[in-house]
C-alpha cells in the first residue's frame, strides 16, 4: 500500500535534541546513529545541510521538515568482508 503522507525527517531525540550540545556533533549523531527511511522503505542518509535545517526547525519551532529528493543520499550497506 502506498502512503499518501508526505515524508518527513524524524524529530531529533536524545543527544541531538539538546541544543546545548555542539551542533556539529548533533549533526553527526542525527546522520549516522539514526536510521532514516522514505515512505517506500528506502533507507537514506540526510545531507549535512539538511540536518542543519532539521535541527534549526526543531530548536526554533519544534517542527518536522519534509524530505525532498535532493536532501539525502541513498544508504549503501558495506557488504565487503575482510
Give 82's pLDDT tier (boundaries 50, 70, 90). Answer: low
Supply the mean pLDDT for the chain. 92
Give the domain extent around 29: 14-74
Q: What is the total count of domains within the chain?
A: 1
Query: Residue 29 is inside which H or E element, if any?
Result: helix 23-32
Provide the pLDDT confidence category of residue 5 given band limits of 50, 70 and 90: confident
**Does residue 29 lie in a domain region?**
yes
**Can you give the pLDDT at residue 31?**
97
Across the range 13-21, mean pLDDT stands at 97
Q: pLDDT (tens digit, 9 = 90+) per residue, 57-75?
A: 999 999 999 999 999 999 9
Work out the angle at residue 57's Cα, subtended by the Cα atoms of residues 37 and 5, and round it to the nearest 5 degrees.
Answer: 40
Nearest to 30 by CA among 16, 40, 47: 16
| pLDDT the model gives residue 81 | 64
Amino acid at each position: 500500500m502506498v502512503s499518501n503522507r508526505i515524508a518527513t525527517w524524524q524529530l531529533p531525540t536524545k543527544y541531538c535534541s539538546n541544543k546545548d550540545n555542539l551542533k556539529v556533533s548533533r549533526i553527526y549523531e542525527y546522520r549516522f546513529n539514526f536510521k532514516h527511511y522514505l515512505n517506500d522503505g528506502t533507507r537514506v542518509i540526510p545531507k549535512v545541510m539538511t540536518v542543519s535545517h532539521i535541527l534549526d526547525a526543531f530548536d526554533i519551532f519544534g517542527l518536522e521538515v519534509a524530505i525532498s529528493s535532493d536532501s539525502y543520499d541513498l544508504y549503501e550497506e558495506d557488504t565487503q568482508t575482510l
